[in-house]
A and B are shown apart, each in its own frame.
Chain A
Amino acid sequence: GENVEQHPSTLSVQEGDSAVIKCTYSDSASNYFPWYKQELGKRPQLIIDIRSNVGEKKDQRIAVTLNKTAKHFSLHITETQPEDSAVYFCAATIASWGKLQFGAGTQVVVTP
Chain B
Amino acid sequence: ETGVTQTPRHLVMGMTNKKSLKCEQHLGHNAMYWYKQSAKKPLELMFVYSLEERVENNSVPSRFSPECPNSSHLFLHLHTLQPEDSALYLCASSPPGLAGDNEQFFGPGTRLTVL
Instruction: Report the interface size class on chain B.
Output: 20 to 34
| Size of A's binding interface in residues, CB under 8 A | 24
Q: Which of A4-48 contact B (CB under 8 A)?
A: 4, 31-32, 34, 42-46
A89 to chain B, nearest CB (A): 7
Q: Would you call B99 an interface residue if the criterion is a C-beta within 8 Å of the partner chain's C-beta atoms?
A: yes
Residues of A whose CB lies within 8 Å of any CB of B are 4, 31-32, 34, 42-46, 49, 89, 93-105
Choice from B44, B48, B104 contacting A97 with Cβ under 8 Å: B48
In chain B, residues 93-112, which have Cβ atoms closer than 8 Å to a Cβ of chain A?
Answer: 94, 98-101, 103-104, 106-109
- Among B41-100, those with CB < 8 Å from A are 41-45, 48, 50, 55-56, 90, 94, 98-100
Given A43-B90, A45-B2, A105-B42, A99–B56 Cβ distance below 8 Å?
yes
For residue B31, CB closer than 8 A to chain A, the reply is yes
- Of the candidates B90, B98, B107, the one having the most CB atoms from chain A within 10 angstroms of its own CB is B98
Given contacts A97-B31, A98-B48, 17 further A-B contacts (CB under 8 A): A34-B103, A42-B108, A43-B106, A43-B107, A43-B109, A44-B43, A44-B106, A49-B103, A97-B55, A97-B56, A98-B94, A98-B100, A99-B45, A102-B42, A102-B43, A104-B40, A104-B41
Report B-chain residues with C-beta under 8 Å of the C-beta of A42. Answer: 108
Q: How far is the CA of A45 from the CA of B55 in the complex (A)?
A: 23
